[in-house]
Structure 1
Amino acid sequence: MNNRYATALNCIDGRTQIPVTAWIIDHFGVDFVDLITEPGMDRVLSHGSWHEIDRIRRNAIVSIDAHNSHVIAVVGHYDCAANPVSDSQHFNDILKSVQTVKSWCLPVEVIGLFVDSHWRVHVISC
């Protein structure tokens, strides 16, 4: 049996892992979600150095090549220690991060998600 995968570019904050993974499984019908984590992922992808962003890109390629991941979700969240900005700034960072990931021209769908103060997942960009 071939398992179906997606990839989440998420913060290291453990509070976000379960809601994001469950949301992706539910909405994309995948079996597993590869997690690539970085403190303040939406900050890194929107304002980080070329070196930081390229490391994340290379990790995403591993997920695509090894597991045939067909979706990449870029995630920001409420109360982020590494990106302590307003929700509206997170939305902007997520939108810019989605554009960054799309610029890699990978054969995947790219979406942007935000996890709110009640740990609910919201689509910011699809």
Structure 2
Amino acid sequence: MEQQEFVTVINCMDGRVQEPVIQWMKDRYNAKYVDSVTEAGPNKVLLSNNQNKIDSILERVRVSTDKHGSTVLAIAGHYDCAGHAVDGELKKARIRESIELISTWGLDVEIIGLYVNDQWQVEVVDGRARPLQAKAQ
């Protein structure tokens, strides 16, 4: 797989989920860098009626896609989120709803959903993620 310079993730600000998601994105997409747009409970923010916050997220994502050339965008949620305290199944449903919203933004990117479980392992919520391939040597 050809190395990508940048990929992007809309992730929770919770430090416990940063490293697992960054490492997963680097491994899955053979990426050199992961641009992170963080919010407390990003799925809750995206699905709110707060257009200013949604526009802020989109503006930051566009820096990654337009200036860094990112072609992959993940929306993540996680277990034990203080910013969006709902059970895992509802969180996964909200991740899917967030993917639907993001798909209306007109970005030329692959959009995937990720959930970090209680073992701090990354699970794919949306089945559109590419299969893991070996890194180029």
Shorter-chain TM band? over 0.9
Alignment of 1:51 onto 2:78: no
Offset, 1:49: 1.4
CA deviation after TM superposition for structure 1 residue 3, in Å: 6.0
Runs of 4+ in 1 over 3 A off after TM superposition: none
Q: Deviations over 1:77-126 (max 9, x none)?
A: 00000100010110111001111111101011000000001100000012
Q: Distance in 2 between matches of 1:50 and 1:90?
A: 21
Q: Answer whether contact 1:40 1:81 (CA < 8 A) is retained.
A: yes
Going from structure 1 to structure 2, the CA distance change for 1:92 and 1:48 (only over 3 Å counts) comes to farther
| More helix per residue | 1
Unaligned runs of 5+ in 2: 129-137
Unpaired stretches in structure 1, ≥5 consecutive residues? none
CA RMSD of the aligned region, Å?
A: 1.3
Please state how far the C-alpha of 1:63 moved relative to its aligned partner: 0.8
Give the structure-1-normalised TM-score: 0.95
The answer to whether 1:15 aligns with 2:28 is no
Question: Is the contact made by 1:46 and 1:94 (CA closer than 8 Å) also made in structure 2?
Answer: no
Shift of 1:47: 2.7
Aligned residue pairs, count? 125
Amino acid paired to 2:31: V
Whole-Å Cα distance in 2 between the matches of residues 4 and 27 of structure 1? Answer: 13
Counterpart residue number, 1:85 = 86
Query: Structure 1 residues 28, 48: closer, same or farther in 2, change over 3 A?
Result: farther
Whether 1:124 and 2:113 are equivalent positions in the alignment is no
**Identity fraction in percent:** 38
